[in-house]
Structure 1
Amino acid sequence: MVHTCVVAGCRNRRTPGTGLSFYRFPRDPERKQLWIAAVNRQGWAPNDGSRLCSTHFISKQVKNPRSPDYVPSVFTPISPEMKEPSRPEVPDKQEARVEAANALLFLQRQGGSGLEEPGPMDANIEGSVSSLTDDDDDNDDESLNEDRDETLAQSSVNFDDVVKALRRENRALRDSVEKMSLSENSLRNDAEKVKFYTGLPNFFVLETVMLLLAPHMDAIRNAKLSKFQQLLLTLMRLRLDLRNQDLAYRFGVRVGTVVRTVHHVVSIMSSTLVPTAVFWPSRAELRKNLPAALRSSCPDCAVIVDCFTVPCEGPVARGNEQGATAACNILNYLIGVAPQGVVTFVSRGVLGNFSPRNLAESSGFLSKLLPGDVVLASRDLDIADAVAARGARFGIAGCFQDDQSRRVEGSPPDTIGVQAHVERVVSMVRRRYTMLTGPVERPFTTAAERTSNLSTFDKIVQVACALNNLCISAAPLE
C-alpha cells in the first residue's frame, strides 16, 4: 500500500530512497483534533489510511506536548530533495520485508521447472506479505521513531563517555611528555633530576643561578631556546660531557646553535657567577670557620694549594706562553682550597711542562697572600721561596716550614690529612662536572678573549669550581 500525504498541495509519496517518514494521525482525540485543524481541510476527516509526511514538522513528530513538533506546523510545500535530513536515514522495514519475500519466491521458482502453478507455500508467502503490508504499516513509523530516539539517546551517552576517556588519556599523555621533557616545570619538583643534569643540589639553587644570569643573557638571540633552556643545555654539557650532536637532538636545534650557546653562556657565567662564588675570604672569616684539626697547629692557614691536569684531544700550541715552544696536549691548573672545603682560587691553564712558581706568580695567586698567612700543600710545588717573599709561610704534608730558613721534619700530624682533603675537593669538582676529566676538544682551548687571555675551557674550569661552591662543600678537614 502506497501512502500519500493528505495535506493539500503536498505530493509526497512513500517511495524508497526519499528519506521521508509518514505518520498516522494520533489516537488521542485532543491531539488528533489539533492535527486536523493544522491540516485545515474544510469538511475533511482522516481515516485509518491517512498519513502526514515529515516535511510538515520542524524535525519529527514527538509525543511531548511542550515540543513544537507535537503538532505539525510547516505547510509551505517543500520538495524532499531540499529538506535536510535531521537524523541518520534508516531503511524502511516494510520495503525490506517485501523485497526479501519476493526474492524468496524468485528462488523457489528457479528451483522448479518454471511451468508449475504456485503452490501452497507461495500462497502463504504472498499472504504473509500482504498481511505484513496491511498490519504493520500503521505502527511502522512510530516504532521506527521510537528506535531512533533510543539509539540517539544511547549514542549521546556513549559519546560523553568517550570524550571523558579521551580527556583523561590526553592529560596522562601530557604528564608523561612533561616528565620526559627538559623543561622548567619538569625540573621544578624533581631534585634528583636537577642534580643529575646540572650537578646542583635542587631547583632553588638552579633558579638562583638563572636569576643572576638572566639580565646578562638578553644579548643572546635564540628563537628556539629560552634563557632557561640555554642555561640547562650548558650545564648538561659541563655536567655530563655530552657531545654537541647529542644536545642538538635533545633540544631540537642545530649543532652550531649548541656550540654558540655553550660559549656564550660560559662567558656570561665566567664574568658574573665566578666573581660571586669563587673569591678569597678575609683573614677574619678564615679563622672564624677554621676546622678544629688545624685550629691548634695552623691557626693562620689561609689556603691549601695543589695542581691538577686535564688532557686535550690533540696537540695544542700557544705561542704566547712561556716555555710552550712545541705543541702539547696537557693543561695544568693551580687550585686553591680553603680549609672549609670551598674553592677560593683557580688559575688559567698552562700547556705542557710548567713551573709551579711561574704559574703562581703569573696567575696572581701570590698577590692574595698577607704577611703571616700559612699556605699548605699536598706535595712540594716549589713555591716556598715565592710565598716567603710575600711574608707568608709554606708547609707540606708531613713537614711544616717553621720559619723562612728551614723545614722541620715530624711536624704536627694534622697536616698529613691535607693531601686527602685537597684531593677530595678536586675530585668532587671533576666528578660533579665530567667535562673537567677531559679530553678537551680543540675549539675550547683557543683564547676566547685577547684581553683576558683565557680560553673557553679556562672559563669552564672556573665556572665548575663556582658551581661546586654553591653545592654542599666537601667534608671539612677534621
Structure 2
Amino acid sequence: IKTYILLQLQQETKQDGDKQQFWPPTPQKKKNNIILSAKNLNNKDFIFYTGLCADSFWLLLLVVLPFCSQPFHTKLAVHEQFLLVLMRLRLGLFTDWGKRFGVSRTTASEIFTFWRPILARFMREKVIVWLPMDTLNRIRPKTFNKNYPQATCIIDCTEVFVQRPKNVTKGSQTYSNYKLNTYKLLYCIAPNGYVMFVSKLFGGRASDNFITKNSGFVHHLIPGDEILADRGFTIKDILPPGVSLALPAFTHGRKELSEQEVTSTYCLANVRIHIERTIRRLKGFKILCHVISGRLQSIDEIVSICAGLCNLQPLLIPQVLAHLCTNSLHD
C-alpha cells in the first residue's frame, strides 16, 4: 500500500467478518447486466477508473464503512456502489453512467447522492489534516532546505465552473474573471504536496485575500511557520505573530527588480511549482473540469472528496513517501 494516510487508518480500523468480505477481492463472473465489476478489475484498471491503485481502493472502502450508519439498498453490492461513485468523480461520467453497472441513471444518481456526504466527512476528518511541525520537518524535501527550511505550507486559490444561479445576486457573486460562473477555494499543501487544508467554496468574484481571511486557514498557523504564496496574497497583516510570508518581489513603480529580488523570486517559483502540480492533480478528477450543477454544499463535498483522494495517490516527491511510511511503521 503506497499511502501513509491509509497505513494509519488501517491500524485504527477493526476489520470484522462483514468487512473482510471485500478484501482480498475474489474475481466473479459478470451478472445482472453489470458491465463493470470492482472484483474483476486489475491495478491499471483501478487507476484509470478511480485514480487509486487496487490496494488503496479496497482499503479505503474498509475504513469508510464505519462512517456509514446503514447501507444504501440497491441490487449493487457496496463495493460496486463505491466504484460507481469514484468513477463519477474521476471520469466525469453522466449519460452512460448507470448503464455500466446495469442500473438506471436515476439509481446511479441516488447512489452518488448517498455516498457523497459520507465520503466528504471522512476526507475532512481523517485525510485532509494539518500535519504537526515534527512531521513537516521529517518530510520536507531537500529542495526547501537552502532558502525555505521552515516552510510549513504553500497556498493558492483555484476555481471550479458551476451553472449560473437563478438568483441575480448569487449570479453576480459567482461571475469571475473567466467571464463564467465559478466557485473559488483556497488550497493548501505541505512542501511535499500533501493536501492539508481545503477551504469552503466562495463566489468566484471573491479575492484571494478575502478567502484566506474568512476560510479559517490562519487558525492553523503557529509562531515559526512560513507560508509560500503568490503575489495576490498580501495577507501579512492578518497572520498571527511569528508567522512569516514569502511572496515574489514587486517592482513598486520601479522599471525592474534588483538582482537579489530576481534571484529570490526565482527560488520561490522553483518550490511554489508544487502547488500548481497538486491543483493540476485535483483537476484530474474530470467532474471538476465540467460545469457542475447542484447546491453549494454538494459541490463543496465533491471538492473535498477529490482533494482527499489526491492524498491517497502517490505523493509528488516519491522519495519522501518511502521515508514517511518507514517512520510510521516504526512508530
Q: Give the TM interval when normalised to the shorter protein.
A: 0.7 to 0.9
Alpha-carbon offset, residue 351 of structure 1: 1.4
Q: Which residue of 1 aligns with 2:70?
A: 219
Alpha-carbon offset, residue 325 of structure 1: 9.0
Aligned partners of 1:342 and 1:464: how far apart in 2? 13
Name the CA shift for 1:198/1:289 in 2 (closer, same or farther; >3 Å): same
Aligned partners of 1:265 and 1:285: how far apart in 2? 31
1:373 to 211, 216, 225: 225
Alpha-carbon offset, residue 227 of structure 1: 1.0
Aligned pairs (5 A) from 1:231-310: 231-243=82-94, 245-310=95-160
Residue pair 1:278, 1:469 contacting (<8 A) in 2 also: yes
Name the CA shift for 1:250/1:357 in 2 (closer, same or farther; >3 Å): same
Aligned pairs (5 A) from 1:286-365: 286-315=136-165, 317=167, 324=173, 329-365=181-217
Name the CA shift for 1:300/1:467 in 2 (closer, same or farther; >3 Å): same
Alpha-carbon offset, residue 307 of structure 1: 0.7
Q: Which residue of 2 aligns with 1:157?
A: none
Alpha-carbon offset, residue 175 of structure 1: 6.0
Aligned pairs (5 A) from 1:31-46: none
Alpha-carbon offset, residue 252 of structure 1: 2.0
Aligned partners of 2:241 and 2:166: how far apart in 1? 34
Aligned partners of 1:242 and 1:325: how far apart in 2? 25
Report the secondary structure of 2:317's partner residue.
coil
Report the secondary structure of 1:246's partner residue.
coil
The alignment status of 1:471 with 2:324, answered yes or no, reads no
Q: Deviations over 1:179-217 (max 9, x none)?
A: x83223202xx101111111102x111011110122333
Residue pair 1:397, 1:418 contacting (<8 A) in 2 also: no
Report the secondary structure of 1:324's partner residue.
helix
Aligned partners of 2:147 and 2:174: how far apart in 1? 44
Number of residue pairs matched by the alignment: 280
TM-score by length of 1: 0.54
Aligned partners of 1:379 and 1:476: how far apart in 2? 29
Q: Which residue of 2 aligns with 1:414?
A: 267
Long gaps (5+) in structure 1: 1-173, 400-406, 448-454
Aligned partners of 2:149 and 2:161: how far apart in 1? 37
Q: Which amino acid aligns with 1:438?
A: H
Aligned partners of 1:341 and 1:291: how far apart in 2? 10
Aligned pairs (5 A) from 1:76-475: 181-187=35-41, 190-201=42-53, 203-243=54-94, 245-315=95-165, 317=167, 324=173, 329-387=181-239, 389-397=240-248, 409-410=261-262, 412=264, 413-431=266-284, 433-441=285-293, 443=294, 446-447=295-296, 455-475=297-317
Q: Deviations over 1:235-279 (max 9, x none)?
A: 000000001x31121122222222221122111011123321111
Aligned partners of 2:30 and 2:301: how far apart in 1? 37
Residue pair 2:174, 2:205 contacting (<8 A) in 1 also: no
TM-score by length of 2: 0.76
Aligned partners of 1:474 and 1:279: how far apart in 2? 17
Aligned partners of 1:318 and 1:348: how far apart in 2? 22
Q: Which moved more, 1:248-257 or 1:225-234?
A: 248-257
Name the CA shift for 1:264/1:439 in 2 (closer, same or farther; >3 Å): same
Alpha-carbon offset, residue 381 of structure 1: 2.0
Q: Which structure has the higher relative contact order (CA within 8 Å, separation 6+)?
A: 2
Residue pair 1:212, 1:273 contacting (<8 A) in 2 also: no
Report the secondary structure of 1:219's partner residue.
coil
Name the CA shift for 1:286/1:269 in 2 (closer, same or farther; >3 Å): same
Alpha-carbon offset, residue 302 of structure 1: 0.6
Q: Which amino acid aligns with 2:280?
A: S
Return the index of the structure with the highest Cα Rg. Answer: 1
Residue pair 2:140, 2:191 contacting (<8 A) in 1 also: yes
Report the secondary structure of 1:385's partner residue.
helix
Alpha-carbon offset, residue 346 of structure 1: 0.6
Name the CA shift for 1:317/1:329 in 2 (closer, same or farther; >3 Å): farther
Name the CA shift for 1:240/1:331 in 2 (closer, same or farther; >3 Å): same
Aligned partners of 2:174 and 2:39: how far apart in 1? 51
Name the CA shift for 1:476/1:223 in 2 (closer, same or farther; >3 Å): closer
Long gaps (5+) in structure 2: 1-27, 251-257, 321-331
Aligned partners of 1:367 and 1:275: how far apart in 2? 16
Aligned partners of 1:435 and 1:381: how far apart in 2? 28
